[in-house]
Each structure stands twice: as structure tokens, then as C-alpha cells.
Chains A and B, each alone.
Chain A
Amino acid sequence: NAGVTQTPKFRILKIGQSMTLQCAQDMNHNYMYWYRQDPGMGLKLIYYSVGAGITDKGEVPNGYNVSRSTTEDFPLRLELAAPSQTSVYFCASSRRTGIDEQFFGPGTRLTVL
């Protein structure tokens, strides 16, 4: 099993550009999550999904969009990049909530200039 994979590892965007961060898991997990981690801070939840076709906002959803057309994939879309979106982005998945651990991808380091 590859677990949770994320692409790209690094990306530099100009203000106003758009991009999609890819996330895939091969563990057949229903629950998937996107977090951002700012320097010296904990992780903040951007969006999450409880299954294909179902997504919901987390703490910091502004400026982002998600879709979940399959169980395996959960891409995160930035439409108009802003410097405030400079961060490290982590995708995670879990089998059940409240009890099971979340499995994290290696992260995408995004810089918006």
C-alpha cells in the first residue's frame, strides 16, 4: 500500500494564479481531510469529506474548493492564490472518525509570491 500520496511536493505560484493539489489514498477510507500548517502553528482543517460526493467546510475554507468524485481521490483547488495561502498542505484519511487514527500524506509546500 502506498498509503496517502500527495502531488506536487513543492510549488511556487504567483498571486492570482490557480492550482490543484492532488491527494489519493489506497486504503479504501471513507473519510478524507485537508489541513494547512503554518510555521510554528498546529494544523487547521480546511475541508473534509465523509464519502464520495460529500464534502464539508472546516475551520479555514475561504479561498479553497474541494470535490470528491471517488473514494480514492480528494483534490484541493486554489482559485486565486494569495500570499496568505503560503503554507504546507497535508491530506489525510481515516477509516472511522472519533476512534481511528488519521493517516497523513507527506505534504505539499506552497509559496505564493
Chain B
Amino acid sequence: GNSVTQMEGPVTLSEEAFLTINCTYTATGYPSLFWYVQYPGEGLQLLLKATKADDKGSNKGFEATYRKETTSFHLEKGSVQVSDSAVYFCALEETSGSRLTFGEGTQLTVNP
């Protein structure tokens, strides 16, 4: 079956530091890949996505590249802000399916 593995958290960084959150996946087909973000007390919202190999998703300074050869979709940001503090979830969905498979989530705290 499908699965998503994220790097363990929590992650604590200082403002303007570089961020990487690792995500690898196992899938039987050719999934779309997503990063969702959950701010405190809120539901999840889409941060970025990529639907095929070598696609790069980007939004709000975050980027992730769909790497089929390494089955990875690592999230990066060059300079984090306090407002980026949240839980980040990597997820996949088969194009022929109808459900998301989530990773465990990575808690990010950015200190001023």
C-alpha cells in the first residue's frame, strides 16, 4: 500500500534560517504529492503540490521538487519567519484513487 514518511520533529529554528523537511513515499502507481500546513487551532490548508515527476511546487517562499528516482518530495525554504511556525504534512494521492495518505507531520517552531 501507499505510505509517506517524514523526518521526525519537532524542528526549532531561528528566524531567517534555512529549512528542510524531508519526505519520502512509497506508492504503487504515479501519485500526486502535496504539502499541507496546519496553523495552531486550524484545519489543514494546501501549501504546494506537484503532479508529476520533476515538477516543482512553490508557494510563499516554500519549494518542493517531485523526485521519482529517490521517491522524495522534500520541503525547503531559504529564510523562515516566525509566522511559519506550524505543523507541516506531506501527503500523496494516486491519480486513479480518491484518498490522501498523510505523513505523521513535522512541528516547526521559528524563534525571533
Contacts and interface: CB of A to CB of B under 8 A. Distances in A.
B36 to A, nearest CB: 8
A74 interface: no
Interface stretch (B12-20, B61-69, B71-79, B91-99): B91-99
Given A98-B32, A101-B46, A101-B49, A41 B105 contact: yes
B102 A98 contact: no
Interface string B88-112: 0100011111111011110000000
Interface string A1-17: 00010000000000000
Given A90-B43, A106-B43, A97 B102 contact: no
Interface string B33-46: 01000000111111
Interface residues of A, number: 25
Contacts of B45: 103-104
A53 B104 CA distance: 32
Contacts of A101: 34, 46, 49
Nearest to A3: B43
A41 to B, nearest CB: 6
Given A99-B51, A104-B44, A33 B34 contact: no
A66 B97 CA distance: 20
Interface of A: 4, 31, 33, 40-45, 48, 50, 56, 58, 90, 92, 97-99, 101-107
Contact of B104 (A41, A50, A90, A105): A41
Contacts of B98: 31, 48, 50, 56, 97-98
A90 B42 CA distance: 10
Given A45-B100, A97-B99, A105-B43, 4 more contacts: A4-B43, A44-B102, A98-B93, A103-B45
B102 A42 contact: yes
Nearest to B100: A102
